[in-house]
Structure 1
Amino acid sequence: MEYLVTSQEMRFCDRNTSERYHIPSAVLMERAALACFSVIEERQAKIRAACEPLGARAGDRVLVAAGCGNNGGDGLALARLLLQAGYRVDVSLIGPQERQSDLMSMQLEAFQAYGGAVRRSLPEGEYDIIIDAIFGVGLTRPLTGDFLEAVEWINRMPAWVLAVDLPSGVCADTGAVLGAAVEADVTVTFGFRKRGVFFYPGARYAGRVLCFPCGITPDGFLGQFPRCFTYTGPVGELLSPRRPDGNKGTFGKVAVFAGQEGMAGACLLAARGAFGTGCGMVKLISHPSNRVLLQRALPEAMVGSDPREAAGWADAIVAGPGLGTGEGAKELLSFLLRETKQPLVLDADALNVLALNREMLEQLQLLQENPDTRRPLILTPHPGEMARLADCSTSEVLADPSACALVWAEKLSAAVLCKTARTVIASPSGELYANGSGNSGMATAGSGDVLAGILGTMAAQKEDPFDAACVGVYLHGLAGDLAAHEKGERSMTAGDLADKIADCFRGGVERRKTV
């Protein structure tokens, strides 16, 4: 597990590291500069090795664009290290001198003491390396004036760009671009990864993100740990071992209510997701016209015709993939909400039925508010479905998917997803999981159906729906990464994704290091 922090959480940890644990801020700044220096030196060593046989020389002209605050101080400390190592370093100070922080002023004096020259304007000419140290986590409003000019200038330059802690112009909390933002090749961040370099569009501006502790540890949170986290390790470590004496009933029975006429594929893909994740049995309730096709395509699954019998049989229920929004779907969903108590995954058309029938949505909310009728519940909306539920625009959801998920998780006492390039999952208590596995190839028909099936199995095997949803979404993305590796992001299908679930449990498969 890896924490993803807000600007406020990071400042809290920084302050406690210095005030409670007596590690001076200047020491932390020096370590941050050394981390950036090590990244540059590693890159330059590779370039030198490539240039040597050709009789060429690695470029060593560096510009450090330094702001007024401590991010600028990090940049000046780095400028000093680079100057001492023989790089040709220029520094441009961006912003009014009277607003310089004490640490920034100290680092400026040290840089100048070593013979470094500074200017208060952007230079002419070209550079091989540009260091963006204008703004860190403190930016809260759109860039203007000299700051905007500096960011636009950096983006025009044909140089390799390293952002210190966060690309200037990216909101540290949401990843939103505040007017304009530096397009970095690498972002070196300190202590913990900021949400802004994890969520899009900030992730695109950050390039490759490298996180260095620099002396900052979780102790600095004083027990008030960040609410947002992500997974990065083998998915098998997040699952309980399978009982060697278990049987098919031990590992969960999942009932899938899916597939109106002509939509058997949605039901089939959900069932494949459930089986691939390790449940013991799957029973499908679909339109009668789909029955023969489903039996032939997936003989391992049972195909039922009695919703009441299937619901009573199951350990967990999945409802919605390809279900339609007609009267039959409405009656089925009403039955599932009123007369079943098992863990329930509401996906796709089940969510659309709720959005179209506000009284049913209110009924669900009342049921979940009452501890006696509350059940483990997972909702899986994409931004469009979330917007219909929340009665707002899709653009409003996309502006802050995390906030939308948190609101509905609290309303429905449920684990609520918002499926985007960085899917988020909120818990009723305010925890937030942000998923880093997966790729653009998963934006394909049926991918969500596979996820619904995966979540069905997770809900049958785990008591906590939030835990079930987090692990299920992570697994779904890992399978997508394996499918993309084999088929390519352009050509992979949801069926390819389902095929790769099993491979995620072999040999400690880890997420690709792309985020």
Structure 2
Amino acid sequence: MEYLVNSRQMKMADQYTIQEKGVLSLTLMERAAESCVRVMDELGMDLSRPCVVCGSGNNGGDGFAIARLLAERGKEVTVFLVGNSSSCTEETKHQMRLLKETGTQILEGYEPGDYSLIVDAIFGVGLGREIIGRYVQVIQQMNEADAQKFSVDLPSGISADHGAVMGIAFQADVTVTFQTTKLGLALYPGKRYAGKVFVEDIGIDLTKAEKDSNLTYAYEREDYRKLLPIRRADSNKGTYGKVLVIAGSKGMAGAAYLNAYAAYMAGAGLVQIYTAEENRVVLQQLLPEAIVTTYDLYDQGELLRLLKWADVVCVGSGIGTTEKARKILRATLENVRVPCLVDADGLNLIAAHKKYLDALSVDDLVFTPHMMEMSRLTDLTIEEIRSSRMDVIKSFADQHRLTCVLKDARTVIASKGRKASVNLSGNASMAKAGSGDVLSGIIAGLMAQGMEGYQAAVLGTYLHGRAGDLARERKGTYSVMARDLIEFLAGAWNELEE
């Protein structure tokens, strides 16, 4: 697993390494600078006219050390200090003295020039406020320069905690970050500002940070492989579970189809769709493998019979927000006794009737909101959620004892009593109607095979995103449809099985 640390956790790791492990801060700084220069060399970056722009903190110290290493090679390095010299840390002052011994001048402020490479070492992971004053103009001028751009640890202006732009941010082509990926580099828009990210081991001990209950991580391929449900030779359709898909109102047959088809392609043994009568014919034609049961009027007796039949329930996609839909959702939430996933209109109905959250009794419950649906559920604005999404999703999951899959350009999964995870697969080609219906079906199909909701959400979100990556490779960024995600799901499965 790859740990995604925030600023507090990284500071904790730094302090533990220095105070408990006895590694000098200057030693870490030298290693950081050496790793940055090594990456520059490996990428063949143009070092003919480098410019290094430093702040007064230890990120600036890294920058001064980089400048010294380049100067010792005979490079004519232009170096600027944009912070207050009186505020420089002791380590940074030491690096400034070493740099001056090479004959390199340290200039105050920043002046645009004919640079081949601009190195951003102004702010590190500790930035916790919006950038104001002269820094705004400096970063703007750096961004406007016709040069390759390189950030040390994190692009200045990006929050290490949530990836937000703190007023203005440096737009890097390359970022070298130290020891482990910062959460702000994995989440958008921070990821976009970071360019290509390289993680360099400089000997920071993460033991202390790893014990933090609020640590976030990303699974790697081998971790996903270990989650794969077993397919036994002596099995039948009943072995892999029965999924009840409650989806699709009049004119919304597609939601039910995508839910059900994805559940089958995720490995479920049997899928039954409960939907509006108008959808019967089209669903039987599109997916003859599914059982189709329909309703005209609300029939609680029929619904309760279906809930008893199911091993997993997937409810909400395209059901609408009518009174009939509300009754169906309420009866489902009050009577379901098997793992249940709620999506789309189901979430919107819950947001409009928040007392339903208090009536949830199923042990294994998964919600899959996108940002607007999460806003309705929490009464927070989308911007408020994005600026503290890890805290919001963890609090929501803990409070309501469920697994929450918060869908965005980077989907985050949280569950009560667990560390949150960030899914790193997927791409912008998946931003199409129906993509969320496919994800819900995949997760429900995995739950039907005996996976508990959190693990199904983690694996399902990865498979969904990876199918999107494979679809983009074949069809391009613009032409991927939601149903393509299901078709390319087989390729995502095969990669993990190999």
Partner AA of 1:210 in structure 2: F
Show the counterpart of 2:38: 38
Matched-pair contact (CA < 8 Å) for 1:257–1:286: yes
Q: Please tell me whether residue 309 in structure 1 is matched to residue 297 in structure 2.
A: no
Q: Please tell me whether residue 283 in structure 1 is matched to residue 279 in structure 2.
A: no
Q: Please tell me whether residue 425 in structure 1 is matched to residue 413 in structure 2.
A: yes
Partner AA of 1:322 in structure 2: G
Offset of residue 61 of structure 1: 0.4
Offset of residue 451 of structure 1: 0.6
Residue segments in structure 2 that go unaligned for 5+ positions in a row: 295-301
Flag the 1:354–1:176 CA change in 2: closer, same or farther, 3 A: same
Once residues 26 and 240 of structure 1 are traced to their aligned partners in structure 2, the CA distance between those partners, rounded to angstroms, is 48
Of 236, 245, 248 in structure 1, the residue corresponding to residue 225 of structure 2 is 236
Matched-pair contact (CA < 8 Å) for 2:112–2:141: no
Once residues 98 and 229 of structure 2 are traced to their aligned partners in structure 1, the CA distance between those partners, rounded to angstroms, is 54
Show the counterpart of 2:71: 83
Once residues 394 and 467 of structure 1 are traced to their aligned partners in structure 2, the CA distance between those partners, rounded to angstroms, is 26
Matched-pair contact (CA < 8 Å) for 1:218–1:225: no
Q: Please tell me whether residue 483 in structure 1 is matched to residue 479 in structure 2.
A: no
Alignment of 1:319-468 (within 5 A): 319-364=315-360, 367=361, 374-429=362-417, 431-468=419-456
Offset of residue 386 of structure 1: 1.3
Offset of residue 236 of structure 1: 3.1
Q: Please tell me whether residue 507 in structure 1 is matched to residue 495 in structure 2.
A: yes
Partner AA of 1:451 in structure 2: L
Offset of residue 290 of structure 1: 1.1
Once residues 103 and 23 of structure 2 are traced to their aligned partners in structure 1, the CA distance between those partners, rounded to angstroms, is 28
Flag the 1:427–1:349 CA change in 2: closer, same or farther, 3 A: same
Q: Percent identity?
A: 41
Matched-pair contact (CA < 8 Å) for 1:321–1:347: yes
Once residues 450 and 404 of structure 2 are traced to their aligned partners in structure 1, the CA distance between those partners, rounded to angstroms, is 16
Flag the 1:223–1:399 CA change in 2: closer, same or farther, 3 A: closer
Q: What is the TM-score of this pair, normalised by structure 1?
A: 0.91
Of 197, 200, 203 in structure 2, the residue corresponding to residue 212 of structure 1 is 200
SS class of match (2:359): helix
SS class of match (1:216): coil
Alignment of 1:257-276 (within 5 A): 257-276=246-265
Show the counterpart of 2:297: none
Show the counterpart of 2:176: 188
Partner AA of 2:20 in structure 1: R
Matched-pair contact (CA < 8 Å) for 2:33–2:63: yes
Q: Please tell me whether residue 122 in structure 1 is matched to residue 110 in structure 2.
A: yes
Offset of residue 498 of structure 1: 0.8
Once residues 245 and 13 of structure 1 are traced to their aligned partners in structure 2, the CA distance between those partners, rounded to angstroms, is 49
Once residues 26 and 241 of structure 1 are traced to their aligned partners in structure 2, the CA distance between those partners, rounded to angstroms, is 50
Partner AA of 1:336 in structure 2: T
Show the counterpart of 1:19: 19
Q: What's the C-alpha RMSD, in Å, of the aligned pairs?
A: 1.9
Offset of residue 26 of structure 1: 1.5
Matched-pair contact (CA < 8 Å) for 2:227–2:455: no
Offset of residue 116 of structure 1: 2.0
SS class of match (1:246): coil
More moved, 406-415 vs 154-163: 406-415
SS class of match (1:454): helix
Deviations 1:84-123 (A, max 9, x none): 2232211101111111111111111111122222111323
Once residues 201 and 437 of structure 2 are traced to their aligned partners in structure 1, the CA distance between those partners, rounded to angstroms, is 39
Q: What is the TM-score of this pair, normalised by structure 2?
A: 0.94
Show the counterpart of 2:288: 299
Counting matched residue pairs gives 490
Once residues 39 and 488 of structure 1 are traced to their aligned partners in structure 2, the CA distance between those partners, rounded to angstroms, is 30
Flag the 1:226–1:82 CA change in 2: closer, same or farther, 3 A: farther
Flag the 1:393–1:285 CA change in 2: closer, same or farther, 3 A: same
SS class of match (2:77): strand
Deviations 1:424-468 (A, max 9, x none): 122122621112111111110110110110110222234532222
Flag the 1:7–1:256 CA change in 2: closer, same or farther, 3 A: same
Partner AA of 2:193 in structure 1: Y
Alignment of 1:123-272 (within 5 A): 123-221=111-209, 223-224=211-212, 227-233=215-221, 235-272=224-261
Partner AA of 1:499 in structure 2: E
Offset of residue 213 of structure 1: 1.6
Deviations 1:244-285 (A, max 9, x none): 222222222211000111111110101111111111111111
Once residues 497 and 151 of structure 2 are traced to their aligned partners in structure 1, the CA distance between those partners, rounded to angstroms, is 30
Once residues 359 and 131 of structure 2 are traced to their aligned partners in structure 1, the CA distance between those partners, rounded to angstroms, is 46
Offset of residue 195 of structure 1: 1.1
Once residues 112 and 447 of structure 2 are traced to their aligned partners in structure 1, the CA distance between those partners, rounded to angstroms, is 60
Partner AA of 1:207 in structure 2: G
Offset of residue 124 of structure 1: 4.4
Matched-pair contact (CA < 8 Å) for 2:209–2:215: no
Once residues 207 and 198 of structure 1 are traced to their aligned partners in structure 2, the CA distance between those partners, rounded to angstroms, is 11
Offset of residue 17 of structure 1: 1.3
Matched-pair contact (CA < 8 Å) for 2:463–2:493: no
Q: Please tell me whether residue 95 in structure 1 is matched to residue 83 in structure 2.
A: yes
Offset of residue 168 of structure 1: 0.6
Matched-pair contact (CA < 8 Å) for 2:140–2:170: yes
Flag the 1:182–1:359 CA change in 2: closer, same or farther, 3 A: same
Flag the 1:431–1:224 CA change in 2: closer, same or farther, 3 A: closer
Matched-pair contact (CA < 8 Å) for 1:249–1:280: yes
Show the counterpart of 2:29: 29
Offset of residue 340 of structure 1: 1.6
More moved, 145-154 vs 330-339: 145-154
More moved, 15-24 vs 4-13: 15-24
